[in-house]
């Protein structure tokens, strides 16, 4: 079974990761809000997903853990701001980014649930003997590194 490549612009994690990078590189004081809330929310969701992967016996748990560490754990550690984390602004900024992401996907003819289901199906296909790796950008990069480019 062919597992399609899921482009980074279709995965909300990469939108938040781009927000994190912009936040880091724009000189302070900045108009770019701190992405701590979005990173924490994503980290919690991914930790729940790791528990699910363990439950179903997925083969890619360590790879997924590494992706979570690189895309959420380390960035959250670098920008964590306890004082602002649960204030209205970071929560609103996260909601607005997710709305922009959702509208973008609608323009492309899909939605966040369909994209999430593609990722979930890729993990399920890997259980059913699919030879291909899960096709998200970090998984693709890890597969290339493992195979020696």
Mean pLDDT of the chain: 86
- Mutual orientation of helices 12-25 and 36-56 as an angle, nearest 10°? 140
Contacts of 146 (CB under 8 A, 6+ apart): none
Mean pLDDT calculated for residue range 42-50: 95
- CA 51 vs CA 61, 101, 115: distances in Å: 9, 26, 20
What pLDDT, on the 0 to 100 scale, is given for residue 140?
Answer: 75
Number of domains in the chain: 1
Asked if residue 132 belongs to a domain, the reply is: yes
Determine the Cα angle at 112 with ends 140 and 144, to 5°: 0
pLDDT at 141: 79
- 3-class DSSP state of 128: coil
Q: Could you give the CA distance from residue 71 to residue 19 in angstroms, rounded to a whole number?
A: 11
The answer to whether the peptide bond before residue 110 is cis (omega within 30 degrees of 0) is no
Per-residue pLDDT band for 98 (boundaries 50, 70, 90) equals very high
**Residue owning tokens 């079974």:** 1
- The confidence band for 122, taking pLDDT boundaries of 50, 70 and 90, is confident
pLDDT mean over 121-134: 65
Task: Tell whether the model's pLDDT for residue 3 goes beyond 90.
Answer: no
Dist CA 9 CA 17 (whole Å): 11
Q: What is the pLDDT of residue 132?
A: 56
Amino acid 1: pLDDT: 45
User: How much is the pLDDT for 136?
Assistant: 79
Whole-number pLDDT of residue 5? 79
Residue 137, both tokens: 């950008």
| H-helix or E-strand spanning residue 57 | none
21 located within any domain:
yes
Establish if 96 belongs to a structural domain: yes
Residue 35 has pLDDT above 70, yes or no: yes
Identify whether 74 is part of a domain: yes
Percent of the chain having pLDDT more than 70? 90
Q: Which domain holds residue 115?
A: 8-147
Strand ranges for 1-138 from DSSP E: none
């Amino acid at each position: 079974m062919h597992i399609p490549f899921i482009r980074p612009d279709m995965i909300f994690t990469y939108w938040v990761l781009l927000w994190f990078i912009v936040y880091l590189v724009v000189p302070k004081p900045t108009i770019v809000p701190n992405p701590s809330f979005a990173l924490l929310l994503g980290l919690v969701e991914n930790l729940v997903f790791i528990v699910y992967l363990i439950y179903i016996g997925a083969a890619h748990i360590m790879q997924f853990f590494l992706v979570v560490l690189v895309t959420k754990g380390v960035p959250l550690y670098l920008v964590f701001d306890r004082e602002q984390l649960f204030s209205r602004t970071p929560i609103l900024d996260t909601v607005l980014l997710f709305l922009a992401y959702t509208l973008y996907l609608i323009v492309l003819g899909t939605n966040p649930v369909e994209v999430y289901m593609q990722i979930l199906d890729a993990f399920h296909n890997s259980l059913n003997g699919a030879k291909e790796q899960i096709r998200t950008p970090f998984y693709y990069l890890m597969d290339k590194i493992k195979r020696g480019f």
